[in-house]
Amino acid sequence: MREVQQLFEKALGLGPPWTVIRSQFDPVAQRLDLFIDFERGARFPCPDCGAAGCTVHDSEDKEWRHLNFLQYPAYLHARVPRVRCPRDGVRQVDLPWARAGSGFTHLFEGLVMTLAAEMPVRAIARLLGEHDTRIWRVVHFHIERARASERFASVRHVGVDETSRRRGHHYAALFCDLERSKLLFATEGKDAATFVRFKADLIAHGGEPTQLRELCMDMSPAFIAGAAEHFAQVPITFDRYHLMASLNFAVDQVRRADQAPAPRVPLRRLRQLRRPLPSATLKHSRFLWLRDPRRLSELQRTRLERLAQLHQRTGRAYRLKLAFAELYTTAPEEAEAHLRRWYAWAIRSRLQPIVAFARTVKEHWDGVLRWFTSRVNNGILEAIGSLIQAAKRRARGYRTTENLIAIAYLVAGKLDFAST
């Protein structure tokens, strides 16, 4: 029998003064219980100051969930001693198999964190036979501890974006290190106050606002106000992908306005028409106007050219979009001249969505042209947002924003859990 206990001791990595005193398998409850104890007269180091040779003051029986033994849940039981330290008083000793205050072993929590990066917490809870609130406590603990050891002194270029937690106005702001493709900080909301919290978090992790060289964001008034107040010395680059997305939206608004309801035409007359009615041809064409023309097939390009001829307003908006996209292919010394020509054309286009976009560009002129100096964009933030939204869809949403933020750090924070 002692050989079995020694096998369990080796499997658990136990050494003196800890020993497995007995094991018990219950076929009815379908669980394995391992009972651990320390040697009589054993002394332990103080968990606070590290002083060796502290005598045991008292002990308390505790239980921890461990990794499954074959297909059966395994539980560890032990008397956890408290020692009397001459300097720090009575303290509970550190255990080699579990952290203080946890009902799980280190290995079990490691399994939870590995699974949480790939699957919903609720599914993990079902798989392991635990309540999901206990699993969430493990996830939050290790993420908070890993983030506590983070250092942001080398951060120079930061991208800012938001992601939705659920339908309605429920958002989380994401601050990313664009050089390391790493999520630095996430917080609830998408207002100017998010920059207050990011600034505090940056300082708490050894960074300084003055060390930043670039902020990249969309043209959100709240983000601009927050950056101007708390990072006034940092130049802003307005993200080219958000700019193109805004312009695409304006083009689609023109297309929708151009899409008048088709008039009722007798079937005999309809058959005599050589081509469909112009007002009907714009239906189901949204994809053609918004996609990069280089990625369209020959048939799609032919259809797009025909639609642009039939619907001159939408066609004009589309040409304005292509001209704006060409801005990012021009040489830096020619960029402002190109943008001025585009603005003059757009402002006279008499297409209200395009005019509104052009006025927005005019208001943020320096930030739009800043791209030719910084060459930064929020492409990595779009990728991080996609990862977070994919995790949210797998989980069918999260009960709290804190849970969403925890998963965001887990999938995009590149945290080091080795020391947790």
At 159-209, the pLDDT tens digits run 999 988 776 668 899 999 999 999 999 999 999 999 999 999 999 999 999
Q: Are residues 119 and 222 in the same domain?
A: yes
- Say which range, 44-53, 238-247, 293-302, has the weakest mean pLDDT: 293-302
Q: Are residues 229 and 351 in the same domain?
A: no
Q: Is residue 400 part of a domain?
A: no
Confidence of residue 229 (pLDDT cuts 50, 70, 90): very high
Q: Is residue 85 part of a domain?
A: yes
| 8 Å CB contact between 20 and 8 | yes
Q: Is residue 405 part of a domain?
A: no
For the whole model, what pTM was predicted? Answer: 0.84
Confidence of residue 392 (pLDDT cuts 50, 70, 90): confident
Owning domain of residue 366: 240-374
How confident is the model over 117-125, as a mean pLDDT?
Answer: 92
Q: How far apart are CA 185 and CA 330, in angstroms?
A: 34
What are 78's strand-pairing partners?
36, 62
Confidence of residue 4 (pLDDT cuts 50, 70, 90): confident
Cβ-Cβ contacts under 8 Å for 51 (sequence gap 6 or more)? 45, 85, 86, 87
| 8 Å CB contact between 64 and 29 | no
Tokens at 77, concatenated: 């039981």
Residue 14's Cβ-count burial label (10 Å; 0-12, 13-18, 19+) is middle
Final residue in a domain of this structure, among 356, 374, 392:
374
Confidence of residue 261 (pLDDT cuts 50, 70, 90): low
Q: Is residue 285 part of a domain?
A: yes
Q: Are residues 303 and 347 in the same domain?
A: yes
- Say which range, 48-52, 76-80, 111-115, has the weakest mean pLDDT: 48-52
Note the pLDDT of residue 169. 64
Q: Is the pLDDT of residue 419 over 90?
A: no
How confident is the model over 235-242, as a mean pLDDT?
Answer: 94
CATH of the domain at 169: 3.30.420
Q: Are residues 99 and 134 in the same domain?
A: no
DSSP 29: T
Q: Are residues 96 and 125 in the same domain?
A: no
- Say which range, 120-124, 317-321, 380-384, has the weakest mean pLDDT: 380-384
Q: Is the pLDDT of residue 70 over 80?
A: yes
Confidence of residue 56 (pLDDT cuts 50, 70, 90): very high
Distance from chain centroid for Cα 111: 21
Note the pLDDT of residue 418. 79
- Say which range, 52-56, 269-273, 358-362, 408-412, has the weakest mean pLDDT: 269-273
Paired sense of beta strands 31-38 and 72-85, if any? parallel
Split into its structural domains, the chain has a count of 3
Final residue in a domain of this structure, among 84, 103, 122:
103
Q: Are residues 221 and 259 in the same domain?
A: no
Q: Are residues 246 and 321 in the same domain?
A: yes
Q: Are residues 247 and 221 in the same domain?
A: no
Q: Is residue 394 part of a domain?
A: no
How confident is the model over 64-79, as a mean pLDDT?
Answer: 94
Instruction: Name the residue with higher pLDDT: 290 or 106.
Output: 106
Q: Is residue 67 part of a domain?
A: yes
| 8 Å CB contact between 380 and 176 | yes
Q: Give the model confidence (pLDDT) of 336-369 as tens digits.
A: 999 999 999 999 999 999 999 999 999 999 999 9
Q: Are residues 229 and 263 in the same domain?
A: no
Q: Give the model confidence (pLDDT) of 81-107 as tens digits.
A: 999 999 999 999 999 999 998 999 999
Q: Is residue 279 part of a domain?
A: yes
Q: Are residues 96 and 118 in the same domain?
A: no
Q: What string of DSSP letters covers 342-384?
A: HHHHHHTS--HHHHHHHHHHHHTHHHHHTHHHH---SHHHHHH
Final residue in a domain of this structure, among 235, 269, 299:
235
Tokens at 369, concatenated: 């042209």
Burial call 227-254: b when 16+ CB within 10 Å, e when fewer: beebbeebbbbbbbebbbebbbebbbbb
Q: Is residue 269 part of a domain?
A: yes
Q: How far apart are CA 193 and CA 336, in angstroms?
A: 33
Q: Are residues 184 and 268 in the same domain?
A: no
Q: Are residues 65 and 21 in the same domain?
A: yes
The helix/strand/coil state of 93 is coil
